[in-house]
A and B are shown apart, each in its own frame.
Chain A
Amino acid sequence: MAGNGDGKAIVRKRFLISGIVQGVGFRPFVFRSACELGLTGWVRNIPAGVEIEVQGTVETLDTFQRALVHDLPPLAAVTSSFAEDIPPVPERGFTILPSGDGAKNIQVAPDSAICDDCLRELFDPADRRYRYPFITCTNCGPRYSIITAIPYDRPRTTMAGFPLCPDCRREYDDPADRRFHAQPIACPACGPQLRLLDCAANAIAERNDALAQAIELLHAGKILAVKGIGGYHLAVDACNPEAVKRLRERKKRDEKPFAVMAADLVTARGLVVLDDQEERLLTGPESPIVIARKTPDCPVAPLVAPANGWLGLMLPYAPVHHLLMRDHFAALVMTSGNVSDEPVAFEDSDALRRLNGIADFFLVHNRPIHVRSDDSVLRLFQGKPLFYRRARGYAPRAVRLPFTAPPLLAVGAELKGAVCLTQGDQAFLSQHIGDLQNSSTADSFRHTIRHLAGILEIAPQLVACDLHPDYISSLHAAESGLPLTRVQHHHAHMAACMAENGLEGEVIGIIFDGTGFGADGTIWGGEFLVGGYEGFQRAGNFLPVPLAGGDTAVREPWRMALAWLYRSLGERAFNLDHPVARHLDDTQKGIFAAMLERGINAPLTSSCGRLFDAAAALLNVRQTVSYDGQAAIELEALAETAEAAGTYSFGITGNERLVIDFTPLFQDLLADTAAGTEAAAMAYRFHATVAKAAVETAVRIAGKTGLDRIVLSGGVFQNRLLSEMVYTGLLDQGLQIFTHRLVPPNDGGIALGQAAIAGWQRRR
């Protein structure tokens, strides 16, 4: 046995580390740490992650082991590590060995914003990558969006067509360099380049000249399509009202807010009010769009986010964004490069075709994007991120399940498509894919499944889908030929929230949602479920009313208002001198009455989202909507302006299953309308009433069942006012509340819940 003479014994340890540990500078980090501590041994990539053998004194090995936990490279994420003592061997120095074999457990890193080191170099005239838009290192840059296959190395990325020049090669081969084995590195001599195209695809400038002209065009109010990391953005100067208006007209997007990119954090503070946590999120490697309150003198054009006190804001994350903005623009509108409901363009020929007629010019480059990925969108709730859309920067990061599942595929829902693949206790949720009814999005959905299964090397043994028979995702699942588990929509919402919070056993789920296919064939959405992964009871629900016209009712909130008023007023509801009824002629009134009376294309729904629609229509906030959730969003914005208190009436009936009846609420609202009460106060009281009903119902269910853990899920929990009211109300009752932090409460999180439920049935 070796010894060093002063009594400090030499020991040797072997580590096996899994997680996101490849392609993120993990081996150079291990190499540097070991060398600094004078340890000997080696490190290598293996299919399961990284294997290390390291030898030295007990003390230095302890220091090394602490570094493995606390000083990880920024993009690394360790999901499991194993250590064992092994006999020391005679050896000298520390080496990085070629990759070994073994069982696979690879995780792919998400795309990351440019790091501080690269940013410094980008603007350093002495650096050889000065103003080079594709600067990156092991700690930053594109990953998920450029990987075509595994194992992750350059030939299996979209950088395959760019052989390293001698200078880049030297950095790539030097374990002491921060670009050691950084697959996407490049420089002006060997890497991709920018080009500026006009709308007929003629190249009009290249490289720095392309950038300079792009900046001039933006100054002149032109609309530019800018190729970024996961797709194309449409960019205009956010402070130029004419340019923003033109973009709105061309994008056929009448009212939905545009996201804005601020030049830097200091500028961002002038646009929106930010707290520390929001600033940390904005500046983190994930670089999401954070929804924050506009400052009183926010300089962006009002048309960027009309009828809305909030703004979706992000900071530059790709080098090209910094180059476009620094010293030139305080804020650019950077909205996804698509036409209305189409998915964001990411392939060059496709972008040129589809964005023709919207963009005046195209700032493109020749590094292909392999996987489309939108910007992630979130806001803070109770100091934690609450996702509206989870995509770039987060996907395909795994959520850890509280149990081990067989490899499976969960296909999600329909409108906010996202899929989930599991391996062991890791659930890999894909990026937001979008509305699967759109054919190109459906293609993207199928591609994402193939690609994600490929790079994660997961061969699903079963598949989970929604109970809805006609969702494109359900059809795909049924065609797969694998054993199929159909999961009720709101059960999946509940399970998603449980899974990301690591919960097992039984909980109470308050699921406030748009619409989902119910276990009884009606359409659910205002649900109180009791259960766990294994199953659920419907312990309570909103009183069902007809969803007259199906999906048309979602686009036309007046229908829900009339459905509620019809309950108290009968046919008189149609003759009210009110915008919910005034637009109907006698024929339409007759047909609509028959629909309500006889259930003609009017399935019953307990939807909470539709309850908000009804109130929004009754307060004449919205009779029709042009984007998903618009009525509720504007109703909330109105309520936030109120200085009000109080609630309206509602009833809770039933015993075995509680039914919350909001008929009295609508009578109160109608009376208030007649009395000329301020709409904002009514909107506020409406929120307070729904929250109060939720808390009272949950408390009664908690009393009956003895359960005290409440999970909140469903798209309605994107509503901050309602969420706060429900949260604080439950907290006051001494209940434990679990909310979403890792996946969206909307249908973007459904696949995780489906995976948890299907996986639990066959857990190991």
Chain B
Amino acid sequence: MNNDLILLGHGSGGRLSHQLLDELIIPALSGIAPSGQDDAALLPPPAGQLAYTTDSFVVDPIFFPGGTIGSLAVHGTVNDLAMMGAQPLYLSVGLIIEEGFSRADLKTVLDDMRQAADKAQVRIVTGDTKVVPRGKADKIFITTAGIGSVGHDIAIHGANARPGDKIIINGTVGDHGIAVMAGREGLNVGTDIRSDSAALNSLVAAIIAEAGGLLHVLRDPTRGGIATTIKEIAQQSEVGITLHEEQIPVNQAVRGVCSILGLDPLFVANEGKLLAFVAPEAAERVVAAMKQHPLGIQAAIIGEVVDGEPGRVRMETSVGGTRAVEMLAGEQLPRIC
């Protein structure tokens, strides 16, 4: 037997499973109770409302500049909670491992998860592991679910954008998508492009502290990029939105790679960005507060909510035109005939 690899038997529920849990998984994610003790974690009920979310992570490659599938699985779920104004508390972890995956890589992934959780101040309290035959999964898939608590006075949601609101982003767009694509395709893009994967809950806390009830919407622009997210909010809130292309921060190296790839960074994924819709009177203060936080140094106002046709997003381009922003059906397809 090869001790360096994960085998089908490690998912059998039998002795090998217990071994894997006790030797590797539980020590790595030390919030989880030792194996075989109980079927569920018992947790004290938090104050306020419960926020509860889940997400699955299948990123390829699992290691990329700026993170791993492990940290991503923590950040993704923590951020989904944070975008509701919730304080994230507990996570569950489901692992689906492909037969033949290396123990060393598994340990790296789990260590990264643990670090990310510690940094975000959430506890991983329960989990599950399955091993599937070769080819039935790609290395490792992770599902996390998260619980957080939301104060009763907080009403942050996607239908809450109002005409006049300023739209603030905490930094450059497109980094994660390009870093992952470069990793997957083996593109040599230099060392300046790293995923922005990060837990945004402490930044959110800083924003809420500054803006209070003047913060109307928060959302993390992940897949589909900021274009898709902003269109979503325009539709959900039934408002018009105007964006200013020149105000949208893009890392120079990302811009260069996007230009050779022919991709629009507005449609490229982020994992450590948030869009905050804030009443105009609080916007400058919020930007200033964000700039004090390590994840908000490049915070900028990139647009505003306008009166006008519900659901329409327009972008004033750097060449002086105004472009319609719509969600794409899939990937960016050529449209010029």
Contact = CB atoms under 8 A, between A and B. Distances in A.
A601 interface: yes
Nearest to B259: A552
A338 to B, nearest CB: 9
A415 B334 contact: no
Interface in A455-477: 468-472, 475
A436 B181 CA distance: 30
Interface in B253-282: 257, 259-263
A439 B261 contact: no
Nearest to B190: A587
A592 B188 CA distance: 11
B52 to A, nearest CB: 33
A549 interface: yes
B187 A439 contact: no
Contacts of B330: 469
A550 B337 CA distance: 11
Interface stretch (A65-73, A231-239, A339-347): A339-347
A628 B336 contact: yes
Q: Which of A513, A515, A550, A600 has its CB near the most chain B CB atoms (within 10 A)? A: A550
B141 to A, nearest CB: 23
Interface in B306-334: 312, 314-315, 319-324, 326, 328-334
Nearest to B319: A340
A504 B185 CA distance: 49
B185 A415 contact: no
B333 A436 contact: no
Interface string A582-609: 0000011011101100101101010001
A468 B190 CA distance: 35
Contacts of B188: 587, 590-591
A437 interface: yes
B189 interface: yes
B335 interface: yes
A404 interface: no
A415 B335 contact: yes
Interface string A538-554: 00000000011111111
Nearest to B311: A479
Contacts of A515: 334, 336-337
A594 B263 contact: no
Contacts of A468: 333, 335
Interface string A404-443: 0000000001111000000000000000000011111010
A515 B262 CA distance: 16
A35 to B, nearest CB: 54
Contacts of A514: 336-337
A365 B253 CA distance: 51
A552 B260 CA distance: 8
A601 B319 contact: no
B332 A550 contact: yes
Q: What range describes how many residues of B lie at the interface? A: 20 to 34
Interface in B103-152: none
Interface string A498-523: 00000000000000011111000001
A179 to B, nearest CB: 42
A547 B259 CA distance: 14
Interface string A220-254: 00000000000000000000000000000000100
A251 to B, nearest CB: 10
B260 A591 contact: yes
B186 interface: yes
A442 B315 CA distance: 13
B313 to A, nearest CB: 9
Interface string B168-207: 0000000000000100011111100000000000000000
Nearest to B316: A439
A645 to B, nearest CB: 32
Contact of B261 (A440, A601, A605): A601
B322 A746 contact: no
Q: Which of A438, A548, A592 has its CB near the most chain B CB atoms (within 10 A)? A: A438
Nearest to B315: A439
A438 B312 CA distance: 12
A489 B189 contact: no
B337 A489 contact: yes
A357 to B, nearest CB: 9
A747 interface: yes
Contacts of B260: 549, 588, 591-592, 595
Given A339-B321, A470-B326, A603 B190 contact: no
Given A340-B321, A600-B181, A601-B262, A553 B190 contact: no
A715 interface: yes
Contacts of B336: 414-415, 514-515, 551, 554, 628
Contact of B333 (A341, A470, A591): A470
A252 B321 CA distance: 11
A550 B320 contact: no
B259 A439 contact: no
B254 to A, nearest CB: 13
Contact of A598 (B185, B312, B324, B332): B185
B250 to A, nearest CB: 16
A516 B263 CA distance: 19
Contact of B335 (A439, A513, A551, A715): A551
Contacts of B322: 342, 438-440
A415 B336 CA distance: 6
B185 A594 contact: yes
A74 to B, nearest CB: 36
B333 A469 contact: yes
A174 B311 CA distance: 53
A640 B34 CA distance: 82
B337 A414 contact: yes
A587 B192 CA distance: 13
Contacts of B261: 549, 591, 595, 600-601
Contacts of B314: 439
A110 to B, nearest CB: 26
B189 A587 contact: yes
B319 A252 contact: yes
Interface string A729-764: 000000000000000001100000000000000000
Interface string B155-174: 00000000000000000000
Given A553-B262, A594-B187, A437 B335 contact: yes
B259 to A, nearest CB: 7
B263 A601 contact: yes
Interface in B42-91: none
B183 to A, nearest CB: 12
A600 B185 contact: yes
Contacts of A601: 261-263, 331-332
A470 B328 CA distance: 6
Contacts of B326: 470, 472, 475
Given A553-B262, A594-B186, A594-B187, A437 B333 contact: no
Contacts of A600: 181, 185, 187, 261
A591 B262 contact: no
B261 to A, nearest CB: 5
Given A468-B333, A747-B337, A550 B262 contact: yes
A764 B21 CA distance: 71
A438 B329 contact: no
Contacts of B334: 515, 523, 547, 550-551, 553-554, 603, 605
> Which 8 pairs across A and B sit closest by C-beta, in order of nearness?
A549-B262, A552-B262, A469-B329, A514-B337, A550-B334, A439-B314, A439-B322, A554-B336
9 contacts: A413-B337, A414-B336, A469-B330, A549-B260, A550-B262, A550-B334, A587-B188, A588-B260, A590-B188
Given A414-B337, A598-B185, A600-B187, 16 more contacts: A339-B321, A340-B321, A342-B322, A439-B322, A470-B335, A472-B324, A513-B337, A514-B337, A515-B336, A515-B337, A550-B333, A552-B259, A554-B334, A601-B262, A605-B334, A715-B337
Interface of A: 252, 339-342, 413-416, 436-440, 442, 468-472, 475, 489, 513-517, 523, 525, 547-554, 587-588, 590-592, 594-595, 598, 600-601, 603, 605, 609, 628, 715, 746-747
